[in-house]
Amino acid sequence: MKHIYGIEHTAASPLCAAFGRFDGMHKKHAAAIEELITKARSQNLPSALISFSGTEGTAVYTTEEEKEELLQTSGLDFLISLEGGNTEKNRADAERRLQIASFTDICAVDGTEELDRSFEARDFPSFSKLCGRPYRMTGDVMHGKGRGKTVGMPTINLHIPPRKKRPPEGVYATITHIDGRAYEGVTNIGRRPSVDTDDTVTIETFLFDFRQDIYGQKIGLDIYTLIRNIIKFDGLEAVKRQVEKDIISARDFFGALRV
């Protein structure tokens, strides 16, 4: 599959295409994309998914880069990422300029209402069922304040793209993907009222059985389930005791998944 950003970089050839935001890339999207590929092959045309990334300031569940990764083995010929909203005007302009010979109308399944409800409720098991996979945030490991090291619990701090939706505040059971390997852990998303005096929001993960230096490296963080709300504790030792309890909760959760 070839990923193209912008109409001006697209080869001038007729396409069988589908339009949409495809935010979340949920199971209904997957079924519709499969239908598009089948239709394109029956007409001997290249298949193209035309993805509108939204207007400036729009937060998304799935970035265009993540869509590329998810679709790489789908059998789709082109992913064409365009700026702007999924409006009738933008679709008509794209259809004219891309020489679309045939299109599949899948706008009806492009809504994210169910995803929104589970996301805002922090119900990530339900979110995973809708998408067929956990909610993933991909980004770079950045330097933090290093306070976890002082109590024997070093953490990694994840920096994500500005437009990527960050889950609501809470402590979550997560799996982090590093160099093709998966590591279970607990992740604090939000403020750190026990150690900070400001409202700085971080994505901070303690990984089980992992002690490598990965600063600057790109990783993927999968959100599995909420463990608890963020609470203010009296000092780092109290935080450590609570994190030890969180680790037990997360291990129990992942252990139950493997049964």
Contacts by 191-200, CB closer than 8 A, 24 or more apart = 191/230, 192/230, 193/230, 193/231, 193/232, 194/231, 194/232, 194/233, 194/234, 194/235, 194/236, 194/238, 194/239, 195/145, 195/147, 195/236, 195/239
Q: Identify whether residues 72 and 137 lie together within a single domain.
A: no
pTM of the predicted model as reported, rounded to 2 decimal places: 0.89
Which of 58, 86, 106 corresponds to the end of one domain?
Answer: 106
Q: Identify whether residues 80 and 191 lie together within a single domain.
A: no
Q: Identify whether residues 159 and 243 lie together within a single domain.
A: yes
The DSSP result for 24-39, as a single string, is T--HHHHHHHHHHHHH
Which CATH number characterizes residue 246's domain?
2.40.30.30
Q: Identify whether residues 247 and 138 lie together within a single domain.
A: yes
Which CATH number characterizes residue 94's domain?
3.40.50.620
Taking a C-beta distance cutoff of 8 angstroms, is the pair 47, 16 a contact?
A: yes
Q: Identify whether residues 151 and 254 lie together within a single domain.
A: yes
Structure tokens at 110: 């492009």
Tens digits of per-residue pLDDT, 183-242?
999 999 997 766 666 678 899 999 998 888 899 999 999 999 999 999 887 778 888 888
Q: Identify whether residues 88 and 138 lie together within a single domain.
A: no
User: Residue-wise pLDDT tens for the chain (259 aa)?
Assistant: 999 998 876 666 788 889 888 999 999 899 989 999 999 999 999 999 999 988 878 899 999 999 999 999 999 999 999 988 888 898 888 888 887 877 766 555 666 889 999 999 999 999 999 999 999 999 999 986 655 554 567 889 999 999 999 999 999 999 999 999 999 999 999 977 666 666 788 999 999 988 888 999 999 999 999 999 998 877 788 888 889 999 999 999 999 988 7
Q: Which domain holds residue 95?
A: 2-106
Q: Identify whether residues 77 and 123 lie together within a single domain.
A: no
Q: Identify whether residues 60 and 136 lie together within a single domain.
A: no
Which of 82, 106, 130 corresponds to the end of one domain?
Answer: 106
